[in-house]
Amino acid sequence: MPLEVLLAVLFGALLHAGWNALVRAAPEKLPDTVLIVCGAALLGAVGLPFLEPPASASWPWLAASVLLHVGYFAAVASAYRHGELGFAYPLMRGTAPVLVTLAAAAWLAEWPSATGAGGIALVSCGILLLAHDGWRRGRLHRHTVRFALANAGVIAAYTLVDGIGARLSGQPFAYTAWLFVLTAPVLFAAALPLHGSRLWSGWRRWPRGLLGGACTLAAYALALWAMTRAPLALVAALRETSAVFALLLGTLWLREPLSRSRVVAVGVVAAGAMAIRLA
């Protein structure tokens, strides 16, 4: 993997962990998730006049991605309602790279090299070790596990859909901007019947929405750009190093405990990232 792609994905992973930490720290998980997505949509709309539009071939993939992302953001909020960032986040992200690898091999004939496959396996194992640590300390909550594992499948699906869509678009940054512009109103309308008053009152926290929106917009734009330069499975696995950043944010900001097994898991993920760099 080219160095510039590696660095872009790692920076995007840090941004992705950042907006997830904002949701985990929020008193109202789904309203604040909607606020962040709306912030991303606003920033994306500002940038659209300066970007070439995506090619027409990518729009069916973009439409499918909007529906997948509505489910994804709802599941993120549900998983964090009861679970620690350091447990729910790795569980969501750890199984997705394996699913993306299998799907990309079957659908796109993108078979990773032995080194790449080893890196994917190490990243996934390290991330799942982070989740296992939460289970061992009695932080397991069936609600969190259910939504986190369901979201792993959604993550794999939208990664494959958007990887193909971004390549067809010829304009991954414009594709990302349109994705959030179209997702925000659908997500808002879906959440309105259950959280109407809290959605409207949440606009008082607009700085949080813009900050989180900037993080998620930039993180996904970098990921989709990387998928136009490298195999989907490698980018998907490397992107999940965000679990390491989530662990650090959970420890430093949310005061979640840091155990020896979590430190070992970080080392395993780092080894996987190095293998992907060499693939």
pLDDT at 163: 92
pLDDT at 242: 75
Rounded CA-CA distance 63/202 in Å is 27
**Banded pLDDT at 86 (limits 50, 70, 90):** low
Of the candidates 240, 247, 219, the one whose C-alpha atom is nearest the C-alpha of residue 232 is 240
207 C-beta neighbours (distance < 10 Å), count: 9
Mean pLDDT of 235-250: 76
Instruction: Give CA angle at 167 (163, 169), nearest 5°.
Output: 115
CA dihedral 139, 212, 221, 226 (to 10 degrees): -40
* Cα diameter, the chain: 53
- Per the prediction, the chain carries an average pLDDT of 81
Of the candidates 85, 19, 29, the one whose C-alpha atom is nearest the C-alpha of residue 256 is 85
> 219 pLDDT exceeds 80?
yes
Rounded CA-CA distance 167/70 in Å is 22
Rounded CA-CA distance 37/134 in Å is 28
Mean pLDDT of 250-271: 70
pLDDT at 139: 54
Alpha helices in the chain, H assignment, sequence order: 3-25, 29-47, 59-80, 85-94, 96-108, 114-136, 142-169, 172-201, 206-227, 232-239, 242-252, 260-278
The token pair at 250 is 């959970």
Q: Are 85 and 250 in contact (CB under 8 A)?
A: yes
**Buried residues in 177-199 as b, exposed as e (16+ CB within 10 A):** bbbbbbbbeebbebbeeebeeeb
Going from the C-alpha of 216 to that of each of 12, 65, 219, 255, 259, the distances in angstroms are 8, 15, 5, 23, 28
| Higher-scoring residue by pLDDT: 199, 20 | 20
> 192 pLDDT exceeds 90?
no
pLDDT at 258: 64
Summarised one tens digit per residue, pLDDT across range 9-22 is 999 988 988 887 88
Q: Please, what sign has the CA dihedral across residues 246, 250, 253, 259?
A: negative
Mean pLDDT of 251-259: 67
Rounded CA-CA distance 256/87 in Å is 10
| Higher-scoring residue by pLDDT: 233, 253 | 233
Rounded CA-CA distance 262/128 in Å is 10
Summarised one tens digit per residue, pLDDT across range 125-139 is 777 776 666 666 555
Summarised one tens digit per residue, pLDDT across range 19-50 is 878 877 777 777 888 889 999 999 999 999 99
pLDDT at 27: 72
